[in-house]
Amino acid sequence: MWRITKKATLGLAALLLLGMVGCTELEVTNPNAPDAERALATTGDVESLIAGGFDSWHETLWYNGPTMALSAASFEHTAPWANAGMEFYARIPRVPVANVSGGRDVGNLTFAFERSYRAINAIASGLYSIDAGDVDLGDDALRARAYSKFIQGIAHGTVALLYDSGFVFDETAACLQTATCGATVEAALLGYQDVADAALGYLYEAASLANGASFTLPSTWMGRTVPAATLEQLAYSEAARLRAAVARTPAERQAVDWDQIVTDAGRGVTTDWNFINDCVTFCDDAFYYRNYPSWHMMPMWVIGMADQSGAYQNWINTPTTDKQPFVMVTPDTRFPQGATEAEQLAAEGEYFYVNSSWYRVWSRPDRGTWRWSYYDRVNYVDMSFDWEGDFPLWTARELDALVAEAAYYDGDLAAVADYVNASRTLHGLAATDAGGTNADCVPKLPNGSCGNLLEMFKWEKRLETHFLGPLRIGWYFDGRGWGDLMEGTVLQFPTPYGEIQLLEGQPYNFGGAGGNSSAPVGTYGY
C-alpha cells in the first residue's frame, strides 16, 4: 500500500489528483482559479459543481477512454483503425500495455482514472461546503446528497473495475476547501477490491437517502429528470453489476456474494434507463462509432459460434496470419439467413446483417485479416447515422442475466434454462432444459462440440446485452470473469504512470502472454 502525504492549496479548477499524489510536501496553487471560498459562495455555485459530477463521470465512456480498446480486446467488435487503442489492445499475440509517458495509446489507459477523480473531487468539494455550513440548500439538501453519493459510487466503482488500485476520497478529507491549507491530506492507494467496497458503500447510502424521498433531479444533471425512486433503482442496479464485474478471474467471479447481487438486482431497474444523447450536454461518441456502418465489424472469434457449416471450426484451425472472412450458416435468426453471401444480403438478420461491399472494412491486412468479417451489428439505428437519441445505461436485461448466473452457481439449472429460453426461442432456436439440451447446436464451440447450458447462457447474455454493461463493455468484464478472454489480454490496468511517478515509484505494465495481470489460455482454447 502506498501512503501519500500532501500539503496543497486546492482551487476549484484543480483536479483531485494534483492535490493528492506526492511523496513529499508540495505547494500547488492555481493563480488563474478563484479560491474555493469565493467559488462556492452560493447555493447555485455548489449545486452546479455537484450537478456536473455525472457529466464528468460519463466521459469515462468516451472514445478517449478504454471502452473501445477493451471492447475490441474482448471481440465485442473490431476495426483495423489505430484509433482509440483498438488496434493496439487487440493485437494477436497480445502485447503489454504501455504505461509510460508517450506510450502507445497510453491516453486511453489514463483517461478514465482522471475523469473518475474529476467527478469525485467535484462531489467532495460540494458536499464539504454543505457540511461546513458555507451554504444552506434547504429542501434541496437531500436531493444533492443522494445524487452525490450515487456519483461517488459509480466513479469509485469505475476505478475499481479498470485499475489494480486507486484512492478512496470524499468530503471527509481534511483541508479540502480552505483557501490556504496548512494541514496535510493523507490518502492511501488501495487495491481494487477495497475501492469497490467503498463504491458499494456510497451506492447503498445513495439508495437509502433516496428511499421514500419525493425529490426529482433536474434533467440537466443526468440528461433527463430522475425521480428519487429511480435514483434508488439505479444505485442498486450499479451495485449488482459492480459486485459481479469487478472479479478478475473465474475463481473471484464465483466467490462474489451472489445472494446480495440477487437482492440488489431485485431492487434495481425494471425497464431500461436511457439518457438523452445530444452531443451538446452529453455525448456517447464511442457508442456512436461502434454503431457506424463502414467503421467497424463483428470479428468471428465469438459470433462464429453461431455457424453450423463447419466454416468456423476451419477458420479457428487456420493460422492467425492466414484467416479470411467466411459466411456463416445458422438457424439463429438474429443473423442473416441463407447459405451464401447473396442470400444473406437479401435477408438481414434481426440483430446482425451482411455488409455490402460499400460498407466493408476490409482494410490494413497487415493488422490482421482475422479482424475481417462479413457481419456488422447496429443496436440503435438512430445512433448509427446521427448523434442524438435515447440510449440505455442501466438495463433490466443485465440484471436478469446476473440473477440467472447466480442461479447457475447455486445449482438451480431450471432457472438458468428459463433465462436462456426467454430470448432463445424468439430467434429460431429450440428451447433448452436444466440438462442443457442444445438441439440446434448454437453455440457450436471452436472444438466442434455443442455448447452446454452455461455456454448457452453466455451466448444469450452476449447477444442480448451487446455494447451494454459497465462502461458499455460487458463482454470484457464478463469475459475476464468467465475466463473467456484471449491469452495475454490485459485483465486490469496498472495505476497510471503519472500517479506512480509522483509517489516516487516505478511505473509498471500489465498484459501480454505470460505477463502480470494477463489472461491465460481461455475457455475456447485461444
Distances 458 to 201, 312, 455, 484 between C-alpha atoms, Å? 29, 18, 5, 10
Tell me the average pLDDT across 171-186.
52
Q: Give the model confidence (pLDDT) of 327-374 as tens digits.
A: 999 999 999 999 999 999 999 999 999 998 888 999 999 999 999 999
> What's the confidence (pLDDT) of residue 391?
80
Q: Give the model confidence (pLDDT) of 395-449 as tens digits.
A: 999 999 999 999 999 999 999 999 999 999 999 999 999 999 999 999 999 999 9
Going by C-alpha positions, the residue among 348, 349, 355, 345 that lies closest to residue 376 is: 355
Cβ atoms of 92 and 486 closer than 8 Å: yes
Tell me the average pLDDT across 78-96.
95
Tell me the average pLDDT across 82-86.
94
Going by C-alpha positions, the residue among 247, 308, 305, 376 that lies closest to residue 526 is: 305
Q: Calculate the average pLDDT of the chain.
A: 88
Tell me the average pLDDT across 54-75.
95
Question: What SS3 class is residue 421?
Answer: helix
In the block, cell 453461431 appears at: 306
Residues in the chain: 526
> What's the confidence (pLDDT) of residue 277?
72
Question: What SS3 class is residue 288?
Answer: helix
Cβ atoms of 228 and 150 closer than 8 Å: no
Domain 2-290+493-502 has CATH 3.30.1400: no
CA dihedral 73, 74, 80, 83 (to 10 degrees): -60
Q: Where are the domains of the chain?
A: 2-290+493-502, 300-377, 396-464
The sign of the dihedral angle between the CA atoms of 451, 455, 458, 460 is: positive
> What's the confidence (pLDDT) of residue 291?
74
> What's the confidence (pLDDT) of residue 134?
87
Tell me the average pLDDT across 54-80.
95
> What's the confidence (pLDDT) of residue 187?
60
Q: What is the DSSP string of 182-226?
A: -S-EEEEEEEHHHHHHHHHHHHHHHHHHHTT---EE-HHHHSS-E
Q: Give the model confidence (pLDDT) of 130-154 as tens digits.
A: 998 889 999 999 999 999 999 999 9
Q: Is the pLDDT of residue 5 over 50?
A: no
Q: Give the model confidence (pLDDT) of 213-265 as tens digits.
A: 999 999 999 989 999 999 999 999 999 999 999 999 999 999 999 999 999 99
> What's the confidence (pLDDT) of residue 385?
56
Helical H segments across 369-473, by residue range = 381-385, 396-410, 413-424, 453-464
> What's the confidence (pLDDT) of residue 9?
25
Cβ atoms of 415 and 404 closer than 8 Å: yes
Question: What SS3 class is residue 432?
Answer: coil
> What's the confidence (pLDDT) of residue 39?
58
Task: Tell me the whole-structure pTM to 2 decimals.
Answer: 0.92
> What's the confidence (pLDDT) of residue 18?
34
> What's the confidence (pLDDT) of residue 388?
67
Which contacts qualify for 216-224: CB closer than 8 Å, 24 or more apart?
216/143, 217/143, 217/147, 218/51, 219/276, 220/51, 220/281, 221/51, 221/54, 221/147, 222/54, 222/275, 223/54, 223/275, 223/276, 223/277, 223/281, 223/282, 224/274, 224/275, 224/276
